[in-house]
Amino acid sequence: MLTKAVESRELRDTAASPDIAGGASGTPLAAHKVIIIGGGIAGLACGCYLQMNGYKTEILEANPVPGGLCVAWDRGPYVFDGCLRWLVGTNPSSSLYRIWTELGAIGGRQIVEHGEFMRVEGADGQVLSLTSDLDRLARDLKRIAPEDSTLIDSLVRAARRCAPLDPLEKPLELMSGLEKTKLLVRCFPILLTIARWKNREFGAYLAAYRSPFLRQALMALVGDARMSALVLVMVLGWRSRKIAGYLAGGSRAFVNAIAGRYTGLGGVLRCDARAAGVIVENGRATGVRCADGTTFPATTVVSCADGRTTLFKMLEGRYLTRQLRYAYNHCEVFPALFQASLGVNRVFPEAPRDLSLQLSRPLIVDKTTRHDRLEVAVFGCDSGLCPAGKSILIVRFVGSFSYWSKLKQEQPGDYAFAKHKLLQEIVGILDQRFPGLASHVEHTDLATPATFERFTGNWEGSIQGWLPTPRVLGRRLPRTLPGLKDFYMAGHWVEPGGGLPWAALSGKYAAQMICARDKKVFVPTAA
Ligand SMILES: Cc1cc2nc3c(=O)[nH]c(=O)nc-3n(C[C@H](O)[C@H](O)[C@H](O)COP(=O)(O)OP(=O)(O)OC[C@H]3O[C@@H](n4cnc5c(N)ncnc54)[C@H](O)[C@@H]3O)c2cc1C
């Protein structure tokens, strides 16, 4: 259920406090109008922070509901969650917690910490629990792979060293020389560790392990051999700090809370409004033109929609830098996913929340994709997604975006049949692992890479923007464009690595930059 506030397609500004003067071109703040394209987490966060600082804002969201990739849908009594499995920043010891608090995102909901954050099962009955306690984790890893003890020790050491890393309070663009020097001094002790792990490709790192089962387990945790090995270090570090829990109610409750905060601050959320172009006059963004011909004048435009669509379609490729061309021509994107969701009329008290399952025969997804393992998440009623006595099983795996989107477009009947077959096969696989499951399945659903692309417009159905490879991780993409004033970009396409916290942070950073442009002190407020 949407919050009452968001149910209304247009919500008028009722509580803005535009009592501040000043602005880029001498415009009083009360007369400023910021149009934000995209009501995903980045757009909502940007809107909230600008409203907190006295700006009038309006979010144009193409879908009937806000949230973008952070989405859930109903099937009978089950809520199939298309996103949230873990949220970095669920503990007050993380600086991200403050952001979630300011955005009203957590709002008293239960935070579930899974000490065992993944269980990995091998072909010959081997089982490995991946736990957030690093001492225990090291012991368990060494138990199954004593021959890899040196590598395990160095991994755990790096996770301990990097665990305290928190994101910057403000974007680098707004930091003074002194602030940058202080940051460098603070990070100096771990810079070498970061550099060493960041520049190593995960697949190459993994190849050094002698235990095949441990290689499989670590791969299950990271998911893609092309990523930087630092991703593994950070995942273990955040888990050890217990700052990456699960928020009961999942994606829908999370998004509705932030959307409610936004409209409560006086923001206008306009759903079913698809932006087609940014209006530019005399080198300034002065509004947004929607697909239905409606125009929205603005003194500032922030795009939190897909990066490629923004740069190449809405701005017709007129403001590209060498860096942007390079990124969009050469850098890899997070692969698109399939999500099979099952609503099951029974509980699985022995099942872990996240399970990596070895398959007895590979799952053939398409001509170029087959899997020997599947990741299965099991949600009970404590997740807030299903009633007592029932469970939801979510299986996610990678597949070819081009194959499935072409099939959907050109042969919709075959697409529907292929989906049905895949879903049947997954039910069969799960029935082997959880005997009797198939006869208790009440609702099923399969979202393909084409579904994620259709729903959010993310390039190639990417679930998190850029893939954090050694080349990309830690780099920034420009938030502003040369030759175009009063225009900003936010979202996971400007923060490589992506994910909910970085989407929110990028929205906050855009708001901070707008305040700085207007010589206004940025003041966030708690919800
Ligand atoms: C299956 C899955 C699981 C995930 N699990 C996690 C997790 O457990 N933890 C985590 O931290 N992250 C997770 N993520 C990643 C996270 O969901 C994303 O990184 C984050 O939501 C991106 O937010 P965003 O606002 O940058 O982009 P988006 O969510 O893509 O938002 C962009 C918005 O812009 C809108 N839009 C696009 N074009 C237009 C237009 N022309 N006009 C108007 N509006 C437009 C879209 O409809 C969308 O609402 C997951 C993602 C997926 C798909």
What secondary structure, in 3-state letters, does 160-213 show? HHHCCCCCCCCCHHHCCHHHHHHHHHHHHHHHHHHHHHHCCEHHHHHHCCCCHH
Q: Is the pLDDT of residue 463 over 90?
A: yes
pLDDT value, residue 19 = 33
Are residue 146 and residue 228 in the same domain, yes or no?
yes
Degrees to nearest 5, angle at CA 442 with 246 and 129: 35
Question: If you measure from the C-alpha of residue 135 to the centroid of ligand 1, how many angstroms do you get, rounded to a whole number?
Answer: 35
Domain count, the chain: 3
Q: Is the pLDDT of residue 98 over 60?
A: yes
Are residue 345 and residue 415 in the same domain, yes or no?
yes
Q: Are 240 and 134 in contact (CB under 8 A)?
A: yes
Q: Is the pLDDT of residue 4 over 90?
A: no
Are residue 213 and residue 148 in the same domain, yes or no?
yes
Place of tokens 């930087």: 228
Instruction: Give the E-state strand segments of 310-368 in sequence order.
Output: 337-344, 354-366
Average pLDDT of the segment spanning 338-367: 96
Within a domain: 118: no
Q: What is the DSSP letter of 334?
A: P
% of the chain surpassing 70 pLDDT? 94
Are residue 347 and residue 454 in the same domain, yes or no?
yes
pLDDT value, residue 164 = 93
Q: Is the pLDDT of residue 494 over 50?
A: yes
Task: Kindly state the tokens that stand for 229.
Answer: 């090995």
* Ligand 1 atom with least separation from CA of 275: 42
Measured from the CB, is residue 500 less than 6 Å from ligand 1? Answer: yes
Are residue 194 and residue 223 in the same domain, yes or no?
yes
* Ligand 1 atom with least separation from CA of 339: 1
* Ligand 1 atom with least separation from CA of 500: 11
Task: Kindly state the tokens that stand for 95.
Answer: 């600086």
Within a domain: 151: yes
Query: For residues 196 and 502, what is the distance between their CA atoms, to the nearest angstrom?
Result: 23
Place of tokens 């530019």: 280
Question: If you measure from the C-alpha of residue 414 to the centroid of ligand 1, how many angstroms do you get, rounded to a whole number?
Answer: 28
Q: Is the pLDDT of residue 20 over 60?
A: no
pLDDT value, residue 136 = 97
Measured from the CB, is residue 247 less than 6 Å from ligand 1? Answer: no
Question: If you measure from the C-alpha of residue 515 to the centroid of ligand 1, how many angstroms do you get, rounded to a whole number?
Answer: 25
Measured from the CB, is residue 472 less than 6 Å from ligand 1? Answer: no
Cβ neighbours for 209, distance < 8 A, ≥ 6 positions apart: 145, 148, 151, 215, 218
- What's 434's domain CATH number? 3.30.519
Query: For residues 230 and 198, what is the distance between their CA atoms, to the nearest angstrom?
Result: 5
Residue 8 pLDDT grade (very low, low, confident, very high; cuts 50, 70, 90): very low
Are residue 199 and residue 162 in the same domain, yes or no?
yes
In terms of DSSP H, where are the helices of 11-69?
41-52
Within a domain: 404: yes
Task: Kindly state the tokens that stand for 32.
Answer: 């400023």
Q: Given phi > 0 = left and psi -120 to 50 = alpha, else beta, which region is 306? A: beta
Within a domain: 9: yes
Average pLDDT of the segment spanning 98-114: 93
- What's 269's domain CATH number? 3.50.50.60
pLDDT value, residue 30 = 64
Within a domain: 369: yes
Q: Is the pLDDT of residue 261 over 90?
A: yes
The domain of 211 spans 133-241
pLDDT value, residue 329 = 95
Residue 28 pLDDT grade (very low, low, confident, very high; cuts 50, 70, 90): low
Average pLDDT of the segment spanning 169-179: 95
Average pLDDT of the chain is 93
Are residue 306 and residue 375 in the same domain, yes or no?
no
Measured from the CB, is residue 35 less than 6 Å from ligand 1? Answer: no
Within a domain: 80: no
Question: If you measure from the C-alpha of residue 517 to the centroid of ligand 1, how many angstroms do you get, rounded to a whole number?
Answer: 27
Closest CA to 59 of 496, 490, 498: 490
Are residue 153 and residue 228 in the same domain, yes or no?
yes
Measured from the CB, is residue 61 less than 6 Å from ligand 1? Answer: yes
Q: Which residue, 459, 488, 505, sits at the end of a domain?
A: 459
Q: Which residue, 208, 241, 274, sits at the end of a domain?
A: 241
* Ligand 1 atom with least separation from CA of 491: 26
* Ligand 1 atom with least separation from CA of 502: 19
Nearest protein CA to atom 14 of ligand 1, as residue = 499
Are residue 505 and residue 407 in the same domain, yes or no?
no
Nearest protein CA to atom 53 of ligand 1, as residue = 463
Residue 162 CB-density burial (10 A; 0-12 exposed, 13-18 middle, 19+ buried): buried
Burial readout 480-510 (b: 16 or more C-beta within 10 A, e: otherwise): ebeebbbbbbbbbbbbbbbbbbbbbbbbbbb
pLDDT value, residue 474 = 85
Measured from the CB, is residue 86 less than 6 Å from ligand 1? Answer: yes
* Cross-strand bridge partners of residue 119: 129, 355
Are residue 433 and residue 398 in the same domain, yes or no?
yes
Predicted confidence (pLDDT) per residue in 416-442, tens digit: 999 999 999 999 999 999 999 999 999
Query: For residues 225 and 243, what is the distance between their CA atoms, to the nearest angstrom?
Result: 25
pLDDT value, residue 27 = 62
Are residue 317 and residue 391 in the same domain, yes or no?
no
Closest CA to 476 of 499, 458, 493, 459: 493
Query: For residues 505 and 100, what is the distance between their CA atoms, to the nearest angstrom?
Result: 10
Within a domain: 77: no
Are residue 484 and residue 439 in the same domain, yes or no?
no
pLDDT value, residue 17 = 32
pLDDT value, residue 224 = 97
pLDDT value, residue 10 = 29
Within a domain: 158: yes
pTM over 0.85: yes
Q: Which residue, 216, 241, 266, sits at the end of a domain?
A: 241
Nearest protein CA to atom 49 of ligand 1, as residue = 68
Q: Are 235 and 222 in contact (CB under 8 A)?
A: yes
In terms of DSSP H, where are the helices of 242-338?
250-264, 307-308, 322-330
Q: Are 231 and 222 in contact (CB under 8 A)?
A: yes
Average pLDDT of the segment spanning 486-507: 95
